[in-house]
Chain A
Protein backbone atom coordinates (compact mmCIF):
# COMPACT_ATOMS: atom_id res chain seq x y z
CA UNK A 1 0.00 0.00 0.00
CA UNK A 2 1.32 3.43 -0.98
CA UNK A 3 1.89 5.47 2.11
CA UNK A 4 3.79 8.17 3.93
CA UNK A 5 4.56 7.30 7.52
CA UNK A 6 5.27 9.92 10.14
CA UNK A 7 6.33 9.37 13.72
CA UNK A 8 5.44 10.23 16.35
CA UNK A 9 1.78 11.19 15.93
CA UNK A 10 1.75 13.24 19.11
CA UNK A 11 4.61 14.84 20.98
CA UNK A 12 4.81 17.13 23.98
CA UNK A 13 8.25 18.49 24.69
CA UNK A 14 9.96 21.27 26.60
CA UNK A 15 11.59 24.35 25.18
CA UNK A 16 15.11 23.72 23.96
CA UNK A 17 15.04 19.93 23.91
CA UNK A 18 16.09 18.70 20.48
CA UNK A 19 13.64 16.49 18.67
CA UNK A 20 13.28 14.69 15.37
CA UNK A 21 10.09 13.83 13.53
CA UNK A 22 10.61 11.00 11.09
CA UNK A 23 8.99 10.63 7.67
CA UNK A 24 9.24 7.69 5.32
CA UNK A 25 7.57 6.97 1.98
CA UNK A 26 7.38 3.75 -0.01
CA UNK A 27 6.51 5.15 -3.44
CA UNK A 28 10.03 5.97 -4.67
CA UNK A 29 9.07 9.65 -4.92
CA UNK A 30 11.85 12.11 -5.63
CA UNK A 31 10.09 15.05 -4.00
CA UNK A 32 9.39 15.29 -0.30
CA UNK A 33 8.37 18.23 1.83
CA UNK A 34 7.36 19.31 5.31
CA UNK A 35 4.42 21.57 6.12
CA UNK A 36 3.05 23.08 9.26
CA UNK A 37 -0.63 23.74 9.65
CA UNK A 38 -1.89 26.48 11.93
CA UNK A 39 -5.47 27.76 12.30
CA UNK A 40 -6.30 30.35 9.66
CA UNK A 41 -2.92 30.00 7.95
CA UNK A 42 -3.41 26.83 5.95
CA UNK A 43 -0.46 24.66 5.03
CA UNK A 44 2.88 26.42 4.95
CA UNK A 45 5.93 24.71 3.54
CA UNK A 46 8.93 24.45 5.85
CA UNK A 47 11.49 22.63 3.71
CA UNK A 48 11.47 20.52 0.62
CA UNK A 49 13.77 18.06 -1.10
CA UNK A 50 13.99 17.38 -4.82
CA UNK A 51 16.07 14.24 -4.34
CA UNK A 52 18.75 12.65 -2.18
CA UNK A 53 21.11 15.27 -0.73
CA UNK A 54 19.10 18.09 -2.37
CA UNK A 55 17.11 20.19 0.09
CA UNK A 56 15.92 23.78 0.12
CA UNK A 57 13.99 26.19 2.28
CA UNK A 58 10.29 26.65 1.96
CA UNK A 59 8.31 29.60 3.28
CA UNK A 60 8.87 29.14 7.01
CA UNK A 61 12.25 27.40 7.55
CA UNK A 62 13.46 29.26 10.65
CA UNK A 63 14.11 26.94 13.57
CA UNK A 64 14.02 23.75 11.49
CA UNK A 65 16.53 21.48 9.78
CA UNK A 66 16.09 18.58 7.42
CA UNK A 67 18.23 15.93 5.79
CA UNK A 68 17.75 13.59 2.84
CA UNK A 69 20.35 10.85 3.03
CA UNK A 70 18.07 8.22 1.54
CA UNK A 71 15.31 8.63 -1.01
CA UNK A 72 12.60 7.23 1.23
CA UNK A 73 13.35 9.22 4.42
CA UNK A 74 13.07 12.91 5.14
CA UNK A 75 13.34 13.70 8.87
CA UNK A 76 12.46 17.08 10.34
CA UNK A 77 14.77 18.27 13.10
CA UNK A 78 14.03 20.95 15.67
CA UNK A 79 17.37 21.70 17.31
CA UNK A 80 15.96 23.96 20.02
CA UNK A 81 12.16 23.94 19.93
CA UNK A 82 10.26 26.99 21.09
CA UNK A 83 6.55 27.41 21.95
CA UNK A 84 5.86 29.14 18.61
CA UNK A 85 6.69 25.84 16.92
CA UNK A 86 3.65 24.26 18.51
CA UNK A 87 1.71 23.14 15.47
CA UNK A 88 0.43 20.26 13.37
CA UNK A 89 3.13 18.99 11.02
CA UNK A 90 2.69 17.07 7.80
CA UNK A 91 5.20 15.31 5.63
CA UNK A 92 4.29 14.83 1.98
CA UNK A 93 5.81 13.16 -1.07
CA UNK A 94 5.15 13.26 -4.80
CA UNK A 95 6.75 12.85 -8.18
CA UNK A 96 8.15 16.01 -9.65
CA UNK A 97 8.24 16.48 -13.39
CA UNK A 98 8.27 19.10 -16.09
CA UNK A 99 4.73 20.18 -15.33
CA UNK A 100 5.34 20.34 -11.62
CA UNK A 101 4.38 17.95 -8.89
CA UNK A 102 1.90 15.15 -9.29
CA UNK A 103 -0.55 14.52 -6.49
CA UNK A 104 0.98 14.77 -3.05
CA UNK A 105 0.61 11.96 -0.54
CA UNK A 106 0.52 13.20 3.03
CA UNK A 107 1.50 11.49 6.22
CA UNK A 108 -0.93 11.19 9.13
CA UNK A 109 0.46 14.27 10.82
CA UNK A 110 2.39 14.99 14.00
CA UNK A 111 0.83 17.21 16.60
CA UNK A 112 3.67 18.91 18.45
CA UNK A 113 3.29 20.90 21.63
CA UNK A 114 6.29 22.80 23.01
CA UNK A 115 5.90 24.01 26.58
Chain B
Protein backbone atom coordinates (compact mmCIF):
# COMPACT_ATOMS: atom_id res chain seq x y z
CA UNK B 1 0.00 0.00 0.00
CA UNK B 2 0.91 3.64 -0.17
CA UNK B 3 3.62 4.66 2.28
CA UNK B 4 4.98 7.98 3.44
CA UNK B 5 8.44 7.75 4.96
CA UNK B 6 10.10 10.49 6.91
CA UNK B 7 13.75 10.93 7.90
CA UNK B 8 15.42 11.39 10.23
CA UNK B 9 13.38 10.02 13.10
CA UNK B 10 15.22 12.21 15.62
CA UNK B 11 17.43 15.24 15.33
CA UNK B 12 19.24 17.14 18.04
CA UNK B 13 20.67 20.51 17.06
CA UNK B 14 22.34 23.37 18.84
CA UNK B 15 20.26 26.52 18.95
CA UNK B 16 21.11 28.56 15.87
CA UNK B 17 21.88 25.56 13.67
CA UNK B 18 19.74 24.64 10.69
CA UNK B 19 17.45 21.63 10.53
CA UNK B 20 15.91 19.68 7.67
CA UNK B 21 13.41 16.84 7.60
CA UNK B 22 12.62 14.85 4.48
CA UNK B 23 9.44 13.14 3.40
CA UNK B 24 9.25 10.50 0.67
CA UNK B 25 6.18 8.87 -0.79
CA UNK B 26 5.94 5.57 -2.63
CA UNK B 27 3.44 7.16 -5.02
CA UNK B 28 2.93 10.54 -6.69
CA UNK B 29 1.04 12.93 -4.45
CA UNK B 30 -1.55 15.49 -5.49
CA UNK B 31 -0.48 17.60 -2.51
CA UNK B 32 1.38 17.33 0.76
CA UNK B 33 0.71 18.81 4.16
CA UNK B 34 3.02 19.54 7.06
CA UNK B 35 2.10 19.58 10.75
CA UNK B 36 3.92 20.42 13.95
CA UNK B 37 3.26 18.79 17.30
CA UNK B 38 4.73 20.45 20.36
CA UNK B 39 5.69 18.17 23.27
CA UNK B 40 2.50 17.17 25.07
CA UNK B 41 0.39 18.82 22.39
CA UNK B 42 -1.59 17.92 19.32
CA UNK B 43 -0.61 18.21 15.64
CA UNK B 44 -1.18 21.66 14.22
CA UNK B 45 -1.37 22.34 10.49
CA UNK B 46 1.52 24.35 9.06
CA UNK B 47 1.11 24.36 5.30
CA UNK B 48 -0.10 22.57 2.19
CA UNK B 49 1.93 22.33 -1.03
CA UNK B 50 0.21 21.53 -4.30
CA UNK B 51 2.37 22.39 -7.29
CA UNK B 52 5.38 20.49 -8.59
CA UNK B 53 8.57 22.21 -7.44
CA UNK B 54 6.66 24.56 -5.15
CA UNK B 55 8.60 26.41 -2.45
CA UNK B 56 6.86 28.25 0.35
CA UNK B 57 8.30 30.15 3.27
CA UNK B 58 6.97 30.92 6.71
CA UNK B 59 9.52 33.10 8.48
CA UNK B 60 12.44 30.73 9.17
CA UNK B 61 10.64 27.69 7.76
CA UNK B 62 11.03 26.72 4.10
CA UNK B 63 8.84 24.02 2.58
CA UNK B 64 9.57 22.35 -0.75
CA UNK B 65 7.57 19.97 -2.92
CA UNK B 66 9.65 17.87 -5.29
CA UNK B 67 9.43 18.15 -9.05
CA UNK B 68 8.09 14.61 -9.30
CA UNK B 69 5.65 15.28 -6.42
CA UNK B 70 6.92 12.25 -4.53
CA UNK B 71 9.02 14.01 -1.94
CA UNK B 72 9.03 17.09 0.20
CA UNK B 73 11.24 18.80 2.74
CA UNK B 74 10.97 21.22 5.61
CA UNK B 75 14.00 23.33 6.40
CA UNK B 76 14.32 25.51 9.48
CA UNK B 77 17.00 28.19 9.43
CA UNK B 78 18.70 29.13 12.70
CA UNK B 79 16.63 26.97 15.02
CA UNK B 80 15.23 28.37 18.22
CA UNK B 81 14.02 26.57 21.35
CA UNK B 82 10.46 27.31 20.25
CA UNK B 83 11.01 24.99 17.25
CA UNK B 84 11.12 21.95 19.52
CA UNK B 85 8.54 19.32 18.62
CA UNK B 86 7.70 16.63 16.11
CA UNK B 87 7.16 17.54 12.48
CA UNK B 88 4.90 15.37 10.36
CA UNK B 89 4.27 15.31 6.66
CA UNK B 90 1.01 13.88 5.35
CA UNK B 91 0.08 12.80 1.87
CA UNK B 92 -3.39 12.04 0.53
CA UNK B 93 -4.44 8.44 0.14
CA UNK B 94 -7.86 7.12 -0.71
CA UNK B 95 -10.31 9.14 1.40
CA UNK B 96 -7.62 9.86 3.98
CA UNK B 97 -4.26 11.39 4.69
CA UNK B 98 -1.29 9.14 5.38
CA UNK B 99 1.06 10.58 7.93
CA UNK B 100 4.79 10.07 7.95
CA UNK B 101 6.38 8.73 11.11
CA UNK B 102 7.51 12.21 12.06
CA UNK B 103 10.85 13.82 12.92
CA UNK B 104 11.35 14.77 16.54
CA UNK B 105 13.45 17.90 16.84
CA UNK B 106 15.30 18.77 20.01
CA UNK B 107 17.03 22.15 20.23
CA UNK B 108 19.84 22.49 22.73
CA UNK B 109 20.26 25.99 24.13
Contacts and interface: CB of A to CB of B under 8 A. Distances in A.
A108 B42 contact: yes
Q: How large is the interface on A (under 10, 10 to 19, 20 to 34, 35 or more residues)?
A: 20 to 34
Contacts of B85: none
Given A42-B88, A90-B42, A92-B43, 6 more contacts: A40-B9, A42-B100, A42-B102, A50-B95, A99-B92, A102-B48
Top 9 nearest A-B pairs (CB, nearest first) are A103-B45, A42-B101, A100-B92, A43-B99, A106-B42, A106-B43, A42-B102, A42-B99, A109-B42
Interface residues of B, number: 24
Contacts of B44: 106
A58 interface: yes
A10 B100 CA distance: 25
Contacts, number: 58
Contacts of A48: 95-96
B79 interface: no
B25 interface: no
Contacts of A44: 99
Could you say which of B30, B35, B95, B101 has the most chain A C-beta atoms within 10 Å of its C-beta?
B95
Nearest to B43: A106
Interface string A28-44: 00000101000011111
24 contacts: A35-B99, A41-B101, A42-B99, A42-B100, A42-B102, A43-B88, A43-B102, A44-B99, A45-B96, A48-B95, A50-B95, A56-B95, A90-B42, A92-B43, A99-B92, A102-B48, A103-B48, A104-B33, A104-B90, A104-B97, A106-B42, A106-B43, A107-B42, A108-B41
